[in-house]
Amino acid sequence: MRDLPFTLDQLRILKAIIKEGSFKKAADSLYVSQPAISLQIQNLEKQLNIPIFERTSKKATLTEAGNLLLRYGNRILGLCEETCRALEDIQNLQGGSLIIGASQTTGTYLMPKLIGLFRQRYPQVNVQLQVHSTRLISWSVANGQIDLAIIGGEVPHELKDILQITSYAEDELALILPISHAFSKVSNIQKEDLYRLRFIALDTQSTIRKVIDKILHQYDIDSSRFKIEMELNSVEAIKNAVQSGLGAAFVSVSAIAKELELGIIHWAKIKNVTIKRMLSIIIHPNRYESKATEAFSREILTLFVTPYEN
Give the pLDDT confidence of 225-249 residue by residue, as tens digits: 999 999 998 899 999 999 999 999 9
User: Are residues 175 and 273 located together in one domain of the fold?
Assistant: yes
pLDDT above 80: residue 71: yes
Helix (H, G, I), strand (E, B) or coil at 127: strand
Average pLDDT over residues 303-310: 48
pLDDT above 80: residue 294: yes
The answer to whether the beta carbons of residues 281 and 301 sit under 8 Å apart is: yes
Average pLDDT over residues 47-52: 92
Asked if residue 63 is part of any domain, the answer here is yes
User: Are residues 299 and 156 located together in one domain of the fold?
Assistant: yes
The answer to whether the beta carbons of residues 149 and 282 sit under 8 Å apart is: yes
Select from 41, 63, 85 the last residue of a domain: 85
Asked if residue 1 is part of any domain, the answer here is no
User: Are residues 110 and 197 located together in one domain of the fold?
Assistant: no
Asked if residue 141 is part of any domain, the answer here is yes
User: Are residues 33 and 154 located together in one domain of the fold?
Assistant: no
User: Are residues 104 and 13 located together in one domain of the fold?
Assistant: no
> Looking at residue 227, which CATH number applies to its domain?
3.40.190.10
User: Are residues 284 and 160 located together in one domain of the fold?
Assistant: yes
Asked if residue 309 is part of any domain, the answer here is no
Long-range contacts of 73-77 (CB under 8 A, 24+ apart): 73/6, 73/11, 73/14, 73/15, 74/15, 74/143, 75/143, 75/144, 76/8, 76/11, 77/8, 77/11, 77/12, 77/15
pLDDT above 90: residue 272: yes
Q: Quick: pLDDT tens for 121-177.
A: 999 888 999 999 899 999 999 988 999 999 988 899 999 999 999 999 889 999 999
The answer to whether the beta carbons of residues 304 and 106 sit under 8 Å apart is: no
Confidence of residue 221 (pLDDT cuts 50, 70, 90): very high
Confidence of residue 2 (pLDDT cuts 50, 70, 90): low
Length of the chain: 310
Long-range contacts of 107-116 (CB under 8 A, 24+ apart): 107/131, 108/235, 108/236, 108/255, 109/252, 109/254, 109/255, 109/257, 110/150, 110/254, 110/304, 110/307, 111/150, 114/296, 114/300, 114/301, 114/304
User: Are residues 76 and 204 located together in one domain of the fold?
Assistant: no
pLDDT above 70: residue 259: yes
User: Are residues 204 and 239 located together in one domain of the fold?
Assistant: yes
pLDDT above 80: residue 94: no
Q: How many domains does the chain have?
A: 3
User: Are residues 214 and 229 located together in one domain of the fold?
Assistant: yes
Bridge partners (DSSP) listed for residue 273: 270
Select from 63, 85, 107 the last residue of a domain: 85
Q: Which domain holds residue 57?
A: 8-85
Cα separation, 122 vs 120, in Å, equals 6
For residue 97, what is the DSSP state? Answer: E
The overall longest dimension of the chain from CA atoms, in Å, is 77
Asked if residue 310 is part of any domain, the answer here is no
User: Are residues 183 and 104 located together in one domain of the fold?
Assistant: no
User: Are residues 236 and 267 located together in one domain of the fold?
Assistant: yes
Asked if residue 32 is part of any domain, the answer here is yes
Asked if residue 290 is part of any domain, the answer here is yes
The reported pLDDT for the residue numbered 81 is 84
Half-sphere exposure for 145 (CA within 13 Å, toward CB): 13
**Residues with Cβ < 8 Å from 262, sequence gap 6 or more?**
none
User: Are residues 273 and 296 located together in one domain of the fold?
Assistant: no
The answer to whether the beta carbons of residues 103 and 255 sit under 8 Å apart is: no
The answer to whether the beta carbons of residues 11 and 77 sit under 8 Å apart is: yes
Confidence of residue 91 (pLDDT cuts 50, 70, 90): low
> Looking at residue 64, which CATH number applies to its domain?
1.10.10.10
The answer to whether the beta carbons of residues 176 and 248 sit under 8 Å apart is: yes
Asked if residue 216 is part of any domain, the answer here is yes
